[in-house]
Amino acid sequence: MYPEDRRYSEEHEWLQVEGDLHVLGITQFAQEELGDVVFVELPEVGASVEAGGEIGSIESVKAVAELFSPVDGEIVEINDEIDDAPELVNEDPHGKGWLVKIRVEDASAVDELMDASAYTEFTSGSD
Amino acid sequence: MGETLRRTPLFAWHQRSGARLVDFAGWEMPVQFSGVIDEHNAVRTQAGLFDVSHMGELMVTGAGAQDFLQRMTPNDCSKLVDGQAHYSALLEEDGTFIDDLLVYRRGEDRFLLVVNASNCARDLAWLDDHRSADVVLEDQSDSYGLLALQGPRAAEILTDLGPAELADLRYYRFTELDFGFGDSIVSRTGYTGEDGFEVYVPAEHAESLWTALLETGESKGLKPAGLGARDTLRLEAGMLLSGQDMGGDTTPIEVGLDWIVKLKKGDFVGRDALVAQKRGGVKRCMIAFELDGRRPARPGSTIVDEGLEVGRVTSGTWSPSLERPIGLALVETGEERAWTPGEEIEVSVRGKSCHGVVVELPFVRKS
């Protein structure tokens, strides 16, 4: 169920290579846990982020979740459509619901994240 | 989770349906089926079906039943006729809430109290401590399932299964009948701000009633709905949640429930404190607010006035109907601060200042 073309964090985010950048979003598991997303707070373009640091938050009708960067790097683009259509995070979390693009400082840090099968196993025990 | 969670008669159905289940007041309850917003909109435009079997049902009978309830609750039970219910509360001697509840008059000396799951044991102990020998108190919570059928098409759906006369039931009236699911109580009540019914059905028939309603209601847009939608609906309707909007150290006067306090009816537990509060004025009051932007204020967010914290949010959510954040807050009040509708307010939401405006309740009127 989880795409093989990306890596996954324990905070239920995914990172996918796109040229010399990485696209970040939340996983299907995370959007199901949250329920209807009504507001996403994203960082500024140009902001530098560090692994484990908070870069924003996602508000659903019933809960709020913090968004953490799984890697060190710099925010180079944010998904502008999310502001008007936060439901994209629910409808297409692995596609149109992407959140930010990061210029990752050290790409090997991404390889240390889980692959699809490891993430599937990671989530199967925690529901 | 050390304690085993309690389950309603519909638990197996919820589990099979893939509903998201959560611990609510010690009960394993469905928080959502198809999604909070989808279920919310179904109730506002068509109909939704809620399992609220976790609510407590306490039977109060005996020659002294009415006098007992007059003494234990602030609303006037002597005004109730057979087949009528009203909203009331259990209060401490100091006028603060133990719980809010519904009182159903089933007969001259037969009453049903419907209480919150989270407070049921405490309510029962409190009532038992105060009851006289001519009052019998029975906890029948486990004997009943409680289904709330809510929405503009609720009457149409219910009368598919039950007699047509159910559609004529007036607001806060009820009837006792067996329409194929055992001896049931059907009342024109609810916690959504829409038209609707609550059906107290023998636990062993709860699932067959649930599935029969869903089946007949499907073509009329009926959807199963969870506690998530129940919360957004009740808040839009301006209905308070016990243990969150009131409870602990608040009184009915402070939270705007003066209308359930009938000081002229004679003595009742908490009366002296409430009389003093009415005379002296309250230092806190409940306000309703809407916020700009999309970030909901959650319970615990603070109301800020000129840099000072002057209150806290007790309920806050995204309003699916208004598509903006709404909430209730308990704030300091006095001659210099009236909090009239239209006044601007500042709410600190997780460290961020959000601008909003005081509004009148309800946020949303019946469709």
Q: For every one of its 367 residues, what pLDDT tens digit does chain B have, with 9 covering 90 and above?
A: 456 999 999 999 999 999 999 999 999 999 999 999 999 999 999 999 999 999 999 999 999 999 999 999 999 999 999 999 999 999 999 999 999 999 999 999 999 999 999 999 999 999 999 999 999 999 999 999 999 999 999 999 999 999 999 999 999 999 999 999 999 999 999 999 999 999 999 999 999 999 999 999 999 999 999 999 999 999 999 999 999 999 779 999 999 999 999 999 999 999 999 999 999 999 999 999 999 999 999 999 999 999 999 999 999 999 999 999 999 999 999 877 889 999 999 999 988 999 999 999 999 998 7
Query: Is residue A46's pLDDT more than 60?
Result: yes
Q: Where does the pLDDT of residue A127 fall: very low under 50, low under 70, confident under 90, or very high at 90 and above?
A: very low
Kindly determine whether residue B318 and residue A59, on different chains, have CB atoms separated by under 8 Å.
yes
The reported pLDDT for the residue numbered A47 is 96
Q: A67 has which bridge partners?
A: A56
- Whether residue B36 and residue A41 make contact (CB cut-off 8 A), yes or no, is no
A59 and chain B in contact, CB less than 8 A: yes
Q: Are B24 and B99 in contact (CB under 8 A)?
A: no
- A86 Cβ under 8 Å from any chain B Cβ: yes
Q: Is B187 on the interface with A (CB under 8 A)?
A: no
pLDDT of residue B206: 98
Q: Interface pTM (ipTM) of the complex?
A: 0.86
**B33 in contact with A, Cβ within 8 Å:** no
b/e code A74-103 from CB counts within 10 Å (16+ = b): bbeebbeebeeebbbbbeebbeebbbbbbe
pLDDT band at A99 (very low <50, low <70, confident <90, very high): very high
d(CA A83, CA A63): 18
Residues in chain B closer than 8 A to A86 (CB atoms): 294
Amino acid B248: pLDDT: 79
- Which pTM value belongs to this model? 0.94
Whether B32 contacts chain A with CB within 8 A: yes
Distance of CA B54 to the CA centre of its chain: 12
Q: Which residues of B, range 268-307, sit inside 8 Å of A by Cβ? A: 293-296, 298
**How confident is the model at residue B2, as a pLDDT?**
55
SS3 B231: helix
Residue B50 makes CB contacts below 8 A (sequence gap 6+) with: B147, B148, B149, B150, B224, B225, B226, B227, B229, B230
Q: Do B36 and A64 touch (CB under 8 A)?
A: no
In this complex, do B37 and A61 lie within 8 Å of one another by their Cβ atoms? yes
> Torsion angle, CA of B70/B76/B79/B85, rounded to 10 degrees?
-90
A39 to chain B, closest Cα gap in Å: 6
Nearest-CA residue of chain A relative to B18? A32
Nearest CB neighbour to B296, from listed A35, A41, A59: A59
Q: CA-CA distance, A78 to A23, in Å (whole number)?
A: 9
Distance CA A4, CA B109 (A): 68
The residue count for chain A: 127
Q: Contact A41/B318, CB-based, under 8 Å?
A: no
- Taking the CA of residue A120 and the nearest CA in chain B, the distance in Å comes to 19
pLDDT, one tens digit per residue, over A16-29 is 999 999 999 999 99
